[in-house]
A and B are shown apart, each in its own frame.
Chain A
């Protein structure tokens, strides 16, 4: 790595390539992959990751253009700079893949994830859960006399933080969507 240790935002596309391709530092990148929405396309992408031993931290997919039958797959992955470059190149080889964007290096981007939390508890714990949910701008989408279900959106870090707070307050179940991300501007 360069002495600047710049990870995010530095790339081959910037004026100065500050990332050492041979460094063994592990980076986390968010990739957006635009694909034809055809049978088996998700299996091709996942099969590439498992077959070549790459990591998937999260993956979301949905059709984004009904007329053009294209879907957007958002993948959060980790690896050394060389591995990340290789992942992008390998994704680009898949025939129904139209575009591969590395949002982590292409400039600022917004990353959001949605999660549902079921928190069971009574008395003070229940009140505290509700109060913290308010702080985190989580919505109550279901409630019983002994539980709340919260809906929260935000960065993965925010959701992690909320989960840590809910754990001692009776966190019973959680579902996360994985990251959806767009470049800013």
Chain B
């Protein structure tokens, strides 16, 4: 083709051809040639993180909030091993990211060279696929293939390991269009006969429910639109997993709220009592099903999923439909409309009556306090004061995460970034950074617990450096709240190692980083303090001192089915039986 290029030049060119505008990374010996090429151009912006784990989470935040592929660049050895948590997180939550890692030169591989690690070996189980590029000739086509694999089918993380001599050597560049087309082409269209069968089931269902998940969001904006239309057409109730929040608007009239271990009472009871369950892009995760043997015992189940291995993995389904959510919903709506089918409106109305009875339980009630900020109250106020704004929320992992899912409403997809499958403490802060880079004028809030937040607090440096006005909303109970809650439920209130001692002064910490710090401990001051945070043009650490021993309820105790929920104000004593205690 044209004049030869070095491997490093090819990498930067391939990223440009793939439409990459930002890379999160950290330099080191084995990626110096790539960093030299980044220095010599202006199209791709490089964000210097403070730790490689954060680079990967930032790429995830970028990907989740835009629907595009996120990119991280790390060096060999420790750079790559630090990326492992982020890769695993992205694999569990099906987030498309490409991680480029440097490697020692090919002739030194296997010699225990300085900063050598078997990166493809280590990351094989935590990537969708990975490659070690051994010659420059195949470098550019491998990167194009990596992007294809990351974004196709069920999205996921991929890693390309590039030895330093491959970065220096010259070869000819393969443009995106001419790159080897992979045999990896997942099926998008669902089986029409099965979709017909589902349409028939929808027409006759008496107690139906839509159970939706992250697959709707991953499928793209069309999927969310089609889902909304389908819910409108059928009038069926809809619930969603943690990953799927925002696909159907929380303000929509058919919305039951999140389901699962800390889901809403009405959503879980509707799942338990339904006669038709339509799973759209969710995977019957153990946080959702509770005790599998008693999971929704009387229902026919349909399952729309792009990944054949999700079908019948946990729950046996009657109508498996393998395909992309948007494609399948489009066909389903067409089939539904073409024959002028109608739902059993009378039965569905009775079903709604039942659901409205369950709603009256008001499972999110909590006893508020005049003197102490309840975490639920803090989130209710945050919701009220940010509603209607162009808002993106990330979270860390724990009680605050579940409260955020319960008390905040999401009306659009891509607005909610949280570590669902892996449950990675330390996810939210770097993810928020990636979101803010992608949406520079939007309001980005990381809802955190003080313990999770400390796990990647070094990224405050990155936020200040790049003027990222992310708001760190820390619900500080000086406890590892969820661990403490389980110790209360399961281990006789012996709170082993679940408190946060020697916490920093978060206001001073913010100032030390060059950010703004706010502390609030009085419910009467909360609104003003939140407004001060929102009005400040720059990164803020908001230290919200909350009730220390609040439990996150409602809750399906581990080992129990959906209809055995612990409600607020119910006794938590001996709530979890011995068989449930071994579960996590």
Contacts and interface: CB of A to CB of B under 8 A. Distances in A.
A13 to B, nearest CB: 15
Given A40-B120, A43-B124, A47-B124, A82 B312 contact: yes
B312 A85 contact: yes
A63 B368 CA distance: 68
Interface in A147-170: none
Interface string A20-47: 0110000000000000000110011001
Contacts of A22: 316
Contacts of A98: 183
B29 interface: no
A96 B130 CA distance: 11
A44 B308 contact: no
A43 B127 CA distance: 14
A22 B316 CA distance: 8
A89 B183 CA distance: 17
B132 A39 contact: yes
Contacts of A85: 312
A175 interface: no
Given A39-B132, A98-B183, A93 B312 contact: no
A79 interface: no
B309 A92 contact: yes
B19 interface: no
Most chain B CB within a 10 A radius of its CB, from A90, A93, A95: A95
A95 B312 contact: no
Interface in A57-97: 82, 85-86, 89-90, 92-96
Nearest to B186: A93
Interface in B108-130: 120-121, 124-125, 128-129
B308 A95 contact: no
Nearest to A39: B132
A95 B132 CA distance: 15
A51 interface: yes
Nearest to A21: B316
A89 B311 contact: yes
Contacts of B182: 95
A90 B313 CA distance: 10
Contact of A95 (B121, B125, B149): B149
A92 B129 CA distance: 13
A89 B124 contact: no
Contacts of B316: 21-22, 82
Nearest to A87: B309
A183 B190 CA distance: 29
A93 B309 contact: yes
A86 B124 contact: no
B307 interface: yes
Contacts of B121: 40, 43
B120 A89 contact: no
Contacts of B309: 86, 89-90, 92-93
Contacts of B313: 86, 89
Nearest to B121: A43
B107 interface: no
Given A22-B316, A43-B124, A89 B308 contact: yes
A82 B149 CA distance: 28
A40 B132 CA distance: 10
Given A21-B316, A86-B312, A93 B124 contact: no
Interface in B345-386: none
A94 B130 CA distance: 11
Interface string B243-282: 0000000000000000000000000000000000000000
A161 to B, nearest CB: 37
A114 B316 CA distance: 39
Nearest to B183: A98
A48 B7 CA distance: 32
B313 to A, nearest CB: 6
A92 B308 contact: yes
Contacts of B120: 40
A85 B128 CA distance: 20
Nearest to A91: B309
Contacts of B312: 21, 82, 85-86
A98 B182 CA distance: 11
Contacts of A94: 129
Nearest to B132: A39
A47 B125 contact: yes
A95 B124 contact: no
Given A85-B312, A89-B311, A44 B183 contact: no
A44 B149 CA distance: 16
A149 to B, nearest CB: 35
A158 B516 CA distance: 77
A44 B132 contact: no
A84 to B, nearest CB: 11
B124 A44 contact: yes
Interface string B306-331: 01110111001000000000000000
Nearest to A20: B316
Contacts of B154: 93
Contacts of A43: 121, 124
A55 B307 CA distance: 23
A89 B283 CA distance: 14
A90 B121 CA distance: 19
B498 to A, nearest CB: 30
B97 to A, nearest CB: 16
Contacts of A44: 124
Given A40-B124, A40-B132, A89-B311, 16 more contacts: A21-B312, A40-B121, A43-B121, A43-B124, A85-B312, A86-B309, A86-B313, A89-B308, A90-B309, A92-B308, A92-B309, A93-B307, A95-B129, A95-B182, A96-B129, A98-B183
Interface of B: 120-121, 124-125, 128-129, 132, 149, 154, 182-184, 307-309, 311-313, 316
23 contacts: A21-B312, A22-B316, A40-B120, A40-B121, A40-B124, A40-B132, A43-B121, A47-B125, A82-B312, A82-B316, A85-B312, A89-B307, A89-B309, A89-B311, A89-B313, A92-B309, A93-B154, A93-B308, A94-B129, A95-B128, A95-B129, A95-B149, A98-B183
Identify the 5 closest CB pairs spanning chains A and B, nearest first: A89-B309, A95-B129, A89-B308, A90-B309, A95-B184
